[in-house]
Amino acid sequence: MATHNLAAILKNPLHDAEYLLLKQTPPPKFGEDQYDSYVDSDLWDLPSTLLNLRNDHSHSAIVIHGAQSSQDIDLTKFDVQLALNEVLEKLGLQMNDVGEWSLFKYVEEAEFGPGGPVNTVFVMGKLLDGNRNCQGLSKWMTTESCLNWLLEVKLSNDRVGPLVVVALINDSLQSAAWKLPPTLHHQEYPPGVIILPMQSRTTKPFDTTNLVIFAPARVADTFGDCGFVAHGDALIVDPGCRREHHEELKQIVASLPKKLIVFVTHHHRDHVDGLSVIQKCNPNATMIAHENTMCRIGKGDWSLGYTSVSGGEDILVGGQRLTVIFAPGHTDGHVALLDVSTNSLIVGDHCVGQGSAALDINSGGNMTEYFRTTYNFLELSPHTLIPMHGRVNMWPKNMLCGYLKNRRSREASILKAIENGAETLFDIVANVYSGVDHSFWIAAASNVRLHVDHLDQQKKLPEEFSVQKFHKTWAPFFVRWTCAYLRSRCVKQKMPSLLITGTLAGIAGYLLGKKHALI
Ligand SMILES: [Zn+2]
Ligand SMILES: [Zn+2]
């Protein structure tokens, strides 16, 4: 189910092109210098707040012109007055500082997940006094000044958020040469970068993979011909949608310029399931991926030629430069892509919109490289992170430092369990993840193996702990986990003890017989 936001466009009575942007509150700090020294630059956006449903039937005193005739949303169901008061309070304003209100736009968010979309009601009002002192928390901006910040980025400059882009900028970019079929819900942020979540065979809590389409309005190419591994008029990243959505993907590819580049961050099925469609629709498209990724992509998915990258290469799309960033950790062939002009970083599965992605131990996932990549991303100082699952992240340094802190804290618990005598994989998992449902222990076990390797590399493990012996406890882990899992399920469902014993014996025997298949 969708939740709603209300965002206000407050115009300047002295300059019609100007509206107020509010300095956004950053996420809380960590209280540790090693993380708090990384600071995201100031972010400015339209003032907004949650728009709740009304819990009484009283008549609202606020009139929003144009709301009654809206086909898209029934504003009488919502407590608009409360939301407007909250928005104005953030700006140090009151209701009588503003003239009439009108409904400007209603925008339904695409299904990024997890959870339902957040739809936004944009209302417009005009301040009565244009000479108000904004006190550093708000500032007058025009679409032109916002575009300067968005498209000619300087590393530590202030930033402009997605609400103002969705409400006022996307529509004003008359030069956009290419448009998506209108039925496909998407987000364009920053301008020129389209993010379209499509249903995919990904893992919970997500259902979709973001297809990122980079099709900027063509600018004069000032770079010349040299030094680029590929040239194109459009680029798409990670076509990973399910078979049921291949028709939509076909429509997208058909509407894009023919000189197309397909960039694949890594080989997981939720990132490559649509490759064969592109191959059929546009056999001249240039595919770009890391060698290790190409080795794992089946020939059926992409049998045409490809360009192998390992990081540092530049790609030219519509006269704009994108740089390939080697980003191992999630897999050993994982690559990211930096859009240089907007300084936005397409991060593959290194970051996800909510929580953190598991590393794939069977495809070269590596904790040491994961940490290194995270620090590399921090050094790039991106203005935005675009993950392939979930929403765009507007506080990149905070998110990356959150990952570092969480992984370190998990690693410290693993080291403590080992120092307290845990020697096998099962003992460590049972100790560190004791409060977590047994069904998550398999993924946890891979995580523990990667952390133990990382601890070993840092020479932090106690001398008496044998990493070689530890690695041999992977198969016995499955047997012990199966017993623990079934026991916990049987207790929950009150199964008779004889049946439990019989089931356990059967499963354990089966697993022992099959242990090589499970490794
Ligand atoms: Zn992945
Ligand atoms: Zn994925």
CATH of residue 255's domain is: 3.60.15.10
Same domain for 325 and 288: yes
d(CA 202, CA 461) in angstroms, rounded, equals: 35
Structure tokens at 138: 């708000």
Q: How confident is the model at residue 64 (pLDDT cuts 50, 70, 90)?
A: very high
Q: What is the pLDDT of residues 358-405, one digit of tens each?
A: 899 999 999 999 999 999 999 999 999 999 999 999 999 999 999 999
> Which carries the bigger pLDDT value, residue 115 or residue 344?
344
Q: How far is the centre of ligand 1, averaged over its atoms, from the C-alpha of 269 (Å)?
A: 8
CA distances from 3 to 128, 378, 483 (A): 31, 32, 42
Same domain for 392 and 429: no
Q: How far is the centre of ligand 1, averaged over its atoms, from the C-alpha of 349 (Å)?
A: 5
The helix or strand, by DSSP H or E, that contains position 352, with its residue range, turns out to be: none
Query: Alpha helix (H) ranges present in 330-366?
Result: none
Q: How confident is the model at residue 512 (pLDDT cuts 50, 70, 90)?
A: very low
3-state secondary structure of 139: strand
Q: How far is the centre of ligand 2, averaged over its atoms, from the C-alpha of 250 (Å)?
A: 21
Same domain for 420 and 490: yes
d(CA 13, CA 131) in angstroms, rounded, equals: 9
Q: How far is the centre of ligand 2, averaged over its atoms, from the C-alpha of 351 (Å)?
A: 10
Same domain for 432 and 379: no
Asked whether residue 220 is assigned to any structural domain, the reply reads yes
Asked whether residue 170 is assigned to any structural domain, the reply reads no
d(CA 353, CA 357) in angstroms, rounded, equals: 10
Ligand nearest to the CA of 387: 2
CB atoms within 10 A of CB 65: 12
pLDDT over 50 (residue 514): no
pLDDT over 90 (residue 82): yes
Burial class (CB in 10 A: 0-12, 13-18, 19+), 131: exposed
Same domain for 130 and 208: no
Percent of the chain with pLDDT over 70: 91
Percent composition of the chain: helix, strand, coil (DSSP 3-state, to 5): 35, 20, 40
Q: How far is the centre of ligand 2, averaged over its atoms, from the C-alpha of 171 (Å)?
A: 31
pLDDT score, position 131: 77
Q: How far is the centre of ligand 2, averaged over its atoms, from the C-alpha of 258 (Å)?
A: 27
Asked whether residue 498 is assigned to any structural domain, the reply reads yes
d(CA 204, CA 358) in angstroms, rounded, equals: 11
Q: How far is the centre of ligand 2, averaged over its atoms, from the C-alpha of 353 (Å)?
A: 11
Q: How far is the centre of ligand 2, averaged over its atoms, from the C-alpha of 109 (Å)?
A: 21
Asked whether residue 161 is assigned to any structural domain, the reply reads no
Candidates 64, 83, 84; CA nearest to 75 is: 64
C-alpha 209: how far from chain center: 9
DSSP conformation class of 438: G
pLDDT score, position 216: 76
- The dihedral formed by the CA atoms of 124, 128, 131 and 135, expressed in degrees to the nearest 10: -60
- This prediction's pTM: 0.91
Q: How far is the centre of ligand 1, averaged over its atoms, from the C-alpha of 108 (Å)?
A: 28
Which of 98, 116, 151 represents a domain boundary (last residue)? 151
Same domain for 488 and 365: no
Q: What is the pLDDT of residues 298-339, one digit of tens each?
A: 877 888 889 999 999 999 998 899 999 999 999 999 999 999
Q: How far is the centre of ligand 1, averaged over its atoms, from the C-alpha of 266 (Å)?
A: 7
Same domain for 414 and 391: no
pLDDT over 70 (residue 174): no
Which of 354, 371, 405 represents a domain boundary (last residue)? 405
| Cα Rg, the chain, nearest whole Å | 26
Q: How far is the centre of ligand 2, averaged over its atoms, from the C-alpha of 271 (Å)?
A: 6
Q: How far is the centre of ligand 1, averaged over its atoms, from the C-alpha of 465 (Å)?
A: 32
pLDDT score, position 503: 56
CB distance 169 to 143 below 8 Å: yes
Q: How far is the centre of ligand 2, averaged over its atoms, from the C-alpha of 201 (Å)?
A: 9
Same domain for 330 and 395: yes
Which residues lie below 8 Å from residue 53, measured CB to CB, with a gap of 6+? 77, 78, 79
Q: How far is the centre of ligand 1, averaged over its atoms, from the C-alpha of 470 (Å)?
A: 26
Q: How far is the centre of ligand 2, averaged over its atoms, from the C-alpha of 143 (Å)?
A: 35
Query: Alpha helix (H) ranges present in 91-174?
Result: 143-151, 162-164
Asked whether residue 418 is assigned to any structural domain, the reply reads yes
Q: What is the pLDDT of residues 83-125, one digit of tens each?
A: 999 999 999 999 999 999 999 999 999 999 898 999 999 999 9
Ligand nearest to the CA of 266: 1
Q: How confident is the model at residue 79 (pLDDT cuts 50, 70, 90)?
A: very high
d(CA 199, CA 112) in angstroms, rounded, equals: 10
Q: How far is the centre of ligand 2, averaged over its atoms, from the C-alpha of 407 (Å)?
A: 19
pLDDT score, position 171: 77
pLDDT score, position 507: 53
Which of 372, 405, 438 represents a domain boundary (last residue)? 405
> Which carries the bigger pLDDT value, residue 229 or residue 61?
229
d(CA 266, CA 264) in angstroms, rounded, equals: 6
Ligand nearest to the CA of 334: 1
Mean pLDDT of all residues in 215-230: 74
Mean pLDDT of all residues in 229-255: 95
- State which residues form the domain around 243: 176-405
Q: How far is the centre of ligand 2, averaged over its atoms, from the C-alpha of 142 (Å)?
A: 38
Same domain for 147 and 123: yes
Number of domains comprising the chain = 3
DSSP E strand stretches across 215-329: 228-232, 234-237, 260-263, 286-289, 306-308, 314-317, 320-326
Percent of the chain with pLDDT over 90: 72
pLDDT score, position 14: 93
d(CA 395, CA 29) in angstroms, rounded, equals: 12
pLDDT over 50 (residue 209): yes
C-alpha 288: how far from chain center: 21
pLDDT score, position 120: 97
CB distance 338 to 322 below 8 Å: yes
Asked whether residue 166 is assigned to any structural domain, the reply reads no
DSSP conformation class of 29: P
CB atoms within 10 A of CB 178: 16
Same domain for 184 and 75: no
pLDDT over 80 (residue 417): yes
Q: How far is the centre of ligand 2, averaged over its atoms, from the C-alpha of 200 (Å)?
A: 9
Write a three-state SS string for 322-340.
EEEEECCCCCCCCEEEEEC
Asked whether residue 164 is assigned to any structural domain, the reply reads no
Same domain for 419 and 400: no
Structure tokens at 252: 């997208």
Mean pLDDT value across the chain:
90
d(CA 11, CA 367) in angstroms, rounded, equals: 50
pLDDT over 60 (residue 496): no
Asked whether residue 167 is assigned to any structural domain, the reply reads no
Same domain for 114 and 190: no
Ligand nearest to the CA of 206: 2
CB distance 417 to 60 below 8 Å: no
